[in-house]
Amino acid sequence: MTRSSQSAGTPLLTATVPRQFVHRASLAETLLTDWRRTGPDRFTVSAQWPRAHGLHVSPDWCSYDPLLVVETVRQAGTLIMHTEYDVPLDRRFVLNAFEVATDPHRLEVGPLPAEPVVELAFTELRHRGGRPAACRYTARVLCCGEPAATADVAFSCVAEAVYRRLRGGRTPATVRAVPLPPGLPPQAVDRALPTDVVLAPPVPDPGARGGCWQLRVNTAHPVFFDHPLDHVPGMLLLEAARQAARFALPGKYAPSAYQAVFHRYAELDEPVWIEARDEGGGHLQVVGVQRESAVFECGVDAAAG
């Protein structure tokens, strides 16, 4: 793809990348602004983070949430697959694993929107029919030139016809989410609005060091369901892990790292249960269960404030 150049001395004009390249319907949720190749299978992606966001900025507007790093890195990998590896826009991306570690001190909100740079290295590229079918990539996120986060991501790409077979006829039009249960108090999970709470009150779990909650799946949520889906999105499951950590761990701890593995699709029309065990030292092990089998597992590490 070619990008227009500007005359010397002309201020640089910045815009977001086409939203289709990052699988977003809303321009407001499109975080990336530019990209370039820096070497074989290596790229640099520019982004901008808003100073206020319903989910990914703290309620007091002081810090960016680590899940904003996750979404930025996810968008960066999707952008590069489409623009540099010629993956067609109609391909479905299936997230397999996502690990991220952040430095909370580098995620403070400043007087201007942050403009992080993401350095990507693609490895383990597997092709089918001459196009990438799966890959792994690592990311290093820099804020003001300083390292703020690292990530390791694995996903696969499938054609629409294959995806439809995998989904067994499920579509956004044919699947209805389970009724929305009441939520936890927003302050219990460090959220400002009741509509952003994704966990119902805990159910009794005698002897457990952690908790068990039903996942609240609101398909009208404008961030988690930026566009219609036929399954529970991975970002909603990660938010459930975040809120479980906020609820279960002592208040001095704030989630800073996630190690997630996604086993299968979490369906909309059956309850998902979020089970968590506090393993001490600011580490929580979270499992999402549906029909008595795990749909995802996520370790959450929290740093003391």
- Reading phi first (left if > 0) and then psi (alpha if -120 to 50, else beta), residue 144 is in left
Distance CA 238, CA 233 (A): 9
Distance CA 119, CA 82 (A): 17
Question: Which residue ranges form the domains of the chain, and what is each CATH number?
Answer: 19-165 (3.10.129.10), 167-304 (3.10.129.10)
Distance CA 230, CA 169 (A): 10
Cα dist. 179→189, 207, 236 in Å? 21, 29, 16
Tell me the pLDDT of the chain (305 aa) as tens digits: 434 444 455 566 789 999 999 999 999 999 999 999 999 999 999 999 999 998 999 989 999 999 999 999 999 999 999 999 999 999 999 999 999 999 999 999 999 999 999 999 999 899 988 889 999 999 999 999 999 999 999 999 999 999 999 999 899 999 999 999 999 999 999 999 999 999 999 987 644 556 899 999 999 999 999 999 999 999 999 999 999 999 998 787 899 999 999 999 999 999 999 999 999 889 999 999 999 999 999 999 998 76
Do 23 and 12 touch, CB atoms closer than 8 A? no
Do 256 and 72 touch, CB atoms closer than 8 A? no
Which pTM was predicted?
0.93
Q: Beta 117-128 vs 92-102: how paired, if at all?
A: unpaired
How far from chain centre, in Å, is Cα 298? Answer: 13
Q: Is 260 helix (H, G, I), strand (E, B) or coil?
A: strand
